[in-house]
Structure 1
Amino acid sequence: MSTFIAMPDAVAGSVALSALVGSLPLITFFVLLLVVKARAYVCGGVALLVALAVAVVGFHMPGDLALLSATQGAVFGLFPIVWIVVLALWFYQVTVLSGRFEDLRTLFDTIGGGDLRIQAILIAFCFGGLLEALAGFGAPVAITATMILALGLKPLKTATAVLIANTAPVAFGAVGIPITTAGVLTNLDPANIGAVVGHQAPFLALLVPSFLLLIIDGFRGLREAWPAALVIGVTFAVAQWWSATYFSYELTDVVASLAGLAAAVIFLRFWKPKGADAVRDRLGVAKPASPESLTPARIWMAVLPYILVVAVFGTAKLWTIGVDIPAALAATDIAIPWPGLDGRLLNADGEPITNTVYQFQWLSSPGTLLLIAGLLVGLIYSLFNAHGKFRLSLGNAVAEIGRTFWRMRFAALTIMAVLSLAYVMNFSGQTIAMGTWVAGLGAAFAFFSPVLGWIGTAVTGSDTSANALFANLQKTAALEAGLDPHLMTAANTSGGVVGKMISPQSLAIAATSVAMEGKESAIFRSVIWWSVGLLLLLCTLVFLQSNVLAWILPGN
């Protein structure tokens, strides 16, 4: 059977020309999305066809290998990605069906002093950061979007806010998986990579709460509520820096999110935003009814789902006392060499690559852990909320899984198409060609290094996938250019966090969550300049850290 080696200069022996040809699928996708305004899953499907054609004609990949690459990507998109997103939405729906979500809203209303802007920051940034720490893979966008939409904010502003809020936490998402992946692929210490990311992401975290005020209520909102945004942003950033540098990069987002929320609770006891009703009038949001007084028992039941999420994920990811639960769960993963593909894709040394082995994480997947947590919530609610407004049966909670899958059907098609696209581009050498061309910039590569992570995450929707694509390339380019490989690998991770908001996967999730299916292009136009602006800021920061600001990095 034929084999294939991906070459960065496959098109006419030119890396530049190969990079240009390799970018055609991405150009196709965004032209269809922005100009034609086609649905995201249509854009993904057409771009996939272009990627297959480029792989076969331009990069000389055997047609059967290109098609098999697409199938592996589609299956990976379905499980675990779609599985995680659907279960995250279902988990939220269980709280809605139980009636307890209204109590959670009231709790946020109480903490936020009735100010919609502060509530949005607490939900999208602090609570979303906690969800990113535990689940990642789109779950924070899905859950926080539905929560903020329920507060009365308009759909487009809601989608924009949650996508931008889901930036700084992404690098440490899903218990630090992007950084762990980078460490595995580069043979660099992931703790050192995480510490460097901890000196980049906090700069974004410091700014994001203020950006949310601008998005929600313009410069007037920033002028009226900046003290709260500053306190939350500074606290989150400092906690993120401390945890990544001195404590644990895996728990960085947990520490930062809880610290930001605690700082908000304390600060808002002494400072109150002005004009909460005026804000609602300006935004066209109806004034909510006077919130009911919450008893301690109702507060406990309202926050119980998220306590259980922390407990389930914390146990599954970190518990090693007596029984190494993470290792036990990992042992249940089933490695499936992809039929017809495994062993036929080779690296430059002629050895088979390992990415053709599909890991079926049926038990250790964050989606399955969300299912376990949700079933526990449904069981507890059915036992202790058997009457009145909080009535919920376990059967109804389980039936909601099917309804959620149906609701997410078009988003699932988009995700599967985009992951198929990513796999074809990766295995055929299209992404490697683009990355190699950028890496040929020499010392100036330090400035452009985050762009690779930005591109990788924009294509795949995952910072983990972006590191899988480019982490080793970043290390190699850094060594050739005399740069710090930890800094460049970290820059790939940090660049990915500002690319996630424009990824088709994230756009589809946000659109579905705020009932804007088919209008992903409007959301894209709303977030693209925020993404580009933050990318330029990050590029400048990394470039300075490679020379004049090298002293601020850990170990210097």
Structure 2
Amino acid sequence: MWQQLYDPLGNTYLSALVAAIPILFFLLALTLFKLKGLIASLLTLAIAVICSLLLFGMPLGKILSAALLGIANGLWPIGYIVLMAVWLYKLAVKSGKFEIIRSSIATISEDQRVQVILIAFCFGGFLEGVAGFGVPIAICAALLVELGFKPLKAAMLCLLANAAAGAYGAIGIPVIVGAQQGSVPLEDMALMMIAIVQPATLLIPTLLILVLDGLRGVRETWPVLLLIGGLFSGLQTLTLYLLGPELVDIIAPLVSMGALALFMQFWRPRHIYRESDAPPRSSQRWSLKEVLAAWSPFYILTGLVLLWSLPAFKSLFASQGPLAASILRINAPLLHQQVEEIPPIAAAVHTLPATWNIALISAPGTAILLSVLLTTLLSSRLSWQSAGEQLRQTVKELWRPLIMICLIMGVAYIANFSGASSTIGLALAETGRAFPLLSPAIGWLGVFITGSVVNNNTLFAHLQSVTAVQIGTSQALLVAANTSGGVMAKLISPQSIAIAAAAVNQVGAESSIMRMVLQYSLALLAYVCIWTFILSLLV
């Protein structure tokens, strides 16, 4: 048995500063030293091991076990979900269905204000839900350019639109990881995400039109803005509240796209707005049957993930459920119930569980895998061999970011079990009730550096949760604030900017795109900070 130590140097601030060395190194490695993410993550893991061993006196065996447990949780369920989601997307492209989807969306309206709502906001939100990892920015920015948008503006609009969907990308993984790392019930975090993010989501379509065509554009397209803003945000809220985060970026965008396509059959803006006289290059028309067939992989995905989210389905895998045996539980050696958390972090001394749960059937990734198998079976242009080749390509493209996620998970688990996160939390708690004003900025910084809301929550969700306990506010609120603040940094993270520039063939213009988006990122961050602080006074 080993007991955590929260002030090894006899000074709260000095102990916290030393405890933060791995995180500070990781941030500097990616910015100042410009190391590759994989190298930076590996070195950070090594530094975390050394700090836990020398500063906190944690036995080496327990440190290595914590690191392995974090890496294992990075592989399953997180890596499993991401891999399956991107594989499904690639199969949609390979089968030719995705080209029909893109073309059918592009022909709904010639007005570029409507197109930016349909493509950057709705379609981009959908792609964030099924794939994430920069896929929506890359595809939607390129599509807007194809439809006659100026390249830099197309990139900026897609980055800005991502603020509405970034929290729930890749089947809700950012929120799920935040709840897990912050040790808060997913239902409680969902409520706080609704309170913080959804008011902003309601206004993102209006902001997009203001950027594109000013107040005149808002006056001429207000029916669309009212319809899509209310429908998209409302459906996100209902899905998050009733079903959880997995389908938030799937149901709302799908229904919103359908509603807008139907609405445009009966309504047209007073003037058709286009940035140039050049006609859109994508003008092919498809039949309703072809369009419906093209969307089939995502109908299947939605149905299966919805099934996986139902309480009746989840109850099958509860401790006494008929399928409980399908969840493999592996206790981390030298770690499970062998580390004691003590006051003031805990109300009383208690041991920490350390178990890797491998949900073979109930994991969301399995629902996506079934979607992949059914899509392959039902598509005449796909064979099992071509599906296997697409999986190989997906692994080839994603192995580096997936390993980076696993290594960062290892760092986070070491920090949590060694007490380093708690040490930093105790120091931050000295700011008292003013901390919620700063809480989202920590998440903003985390995503700006790592480019990932998942990595940000892996690093800081536990820290936010510990600090919340110390200052007497809601843990779920601060973990949600960490997530929400992080989403606002996705607009300007170097990774997002690089993807956007490459998508519109403007490599080298990254600084120009950054300047165009920065003010909106900071304004949205200010909103999250102020609103979080107000909520902290109410909950």
Length-normalised TM-score, structure 2: 0.78
> Residue 130 and residue 102 in structure 1: after superposition, are their counterparts in 2 closer, same or farther (change >3 A)?
closer
- Alignment partner of 1:315 is 2:315: no
Give 1:295's aligned residue.
Answer: 287
> Residue 257 and residue 100 in structure 1: after superposition, are their counterparts in 2 closer, same or farther (change >3 A)?
closer
Give 1:362's aligned residue.
Answer: 360
Q: CA offset at residue 108 of structure 1?
A: 1.4
> Residue 276 and residue 60 in structure 1: after superposition, are their counterparts in 2 closer, same or farther (change >3 A)?
farther
Given the alignment, which residue of 24, 38, 42 partners 1:41? Answer: 38
**Structure 1 CA distance, aligned partners of 2:157 and 2:31?**
20
> Residue 502 and residue 332 in structure 1: after superposition, are their counterparts in 2 closer, same or farther (change >3 A)?
farther
Letter in 1 for 2:352: I
- Alignment partner of 1:374 is 2:367: no
Q: Deviations over 1:316-366 (max 9, x none)?
A: 221628994786666522111123332332211553212x21112233222
**Structure 1 CA distance, aligned partners of 2:340 and 2:233?**
42
**Which shows bigger deviation, 62-71 or 96-105?**
62-71
Gaps of 5+ in 2: 343-347
SS at match of 1:315: helix
Q: CA offset at residue 122 of structure 1?
A: 3.5
Give 1:204's aligned residue.
Answer: 200
Contact 2:442 2:482 in 1 (8 A): yes
Give 1:352's aligned residue.
Answer: 351
Contact 1:179 1:493 in 2 (8 A): no
Give 2:345's aligned residue.
Answer: none
SS at match of 2:75: helix
> Residue 321 and residue 336 in structure 1: after superposition, are their counterparts in 2 closer, same or farther (change >3 A)?
closer
- Alignment partner of 1:499 is 2:486: yes
Give 1:538's aligned residue.
Answer: 528
Contact 1:453 1:492 in 2 (8 A): no
Q: How does 1:386-465 map to 2 (within 5 A)?
A: 391-451=381-441, 461-462=453-454, 465=458
Given the alignment, which residue of 334, 338, 345 partners 2:332? Answer: 338
> Residue 219 and residue 513 in structure 1: after superposition, are their counterparts in 2 closer, same or farther (change >3 A)?
closer
Q: How does 1:475-486 map to 2 (within 5 A)?
A: 476-479=469-472, 483=473, 485=474
Give 1:16's aligned residue.
Answer: 13
CA RMSD across the alignment: 4.3
SS at match of 1:346: strand
**Which shows bigger deviation, 179-188 or 55-64?**
179-188
Give 2:260's aligned residue.
Answer: 264
**Structure 1 CA distance, aligned partners of 2:215 and 2:276?**
12
Q: CA offset at residue 265 of structure 1?
A: 3.1
Q: Deviations over 1:369-419 (max 9, x none)?
A: 21210110011003xxxxxxxx32232112211121112222223222222
**Structure 2 CA distance, aligned partners of 1:330 and 1:259?**
35
SS at match of 1:538: helix
**Structure 2 CA distance, aligned partners of 1:317 and 1:276?**
42
Letter in 2 for 1:310: T
SS at match of 1:21: helix
Give 2:476's aligned residue.
Answer: 489
Q: CA offset at residue 34 of structure 1?
A: 1.9
**Structure 1 CA distance, aligned partners of 2:435 and 2:243?**
29
Contact 2:328 2:359 in 1 (8 A): yes
> Residue 148 and residue 172 in structure 1: after superposition, are their counterparts in 2 closer, same or farther (change >3 A)?
closer
**Structure 1 CA distance, aligned partners of 2:182 and 2:392?**
37
Letter in 2 for 1:469: H
Letter in 2 for 1:342: H
Length-normalised TM-score, structure 1: 0.76
Given the alignment, which residue of 64, 69, 75 partners 1:67? Answer: 64
SS at match of 1:199: helix
Q: How does 1:96-107 map to 2 (within 5 A)?
A: 96-107=93-104
Give 1:91's aligned residue.
Answer: 88
**Structure 2 CA distance, aligned partners of 1:205 and 1:242?**
14
> Residue 332 and residue 145 in structure 1: after superposition, are their counterparts in 2 closer, same or farther (change >3 A)?
farther
Give 1:7's aligned residue.
Answer: 5
**Structure 2 CA distance, aligned partners of 1:40 and 1:15?**
31
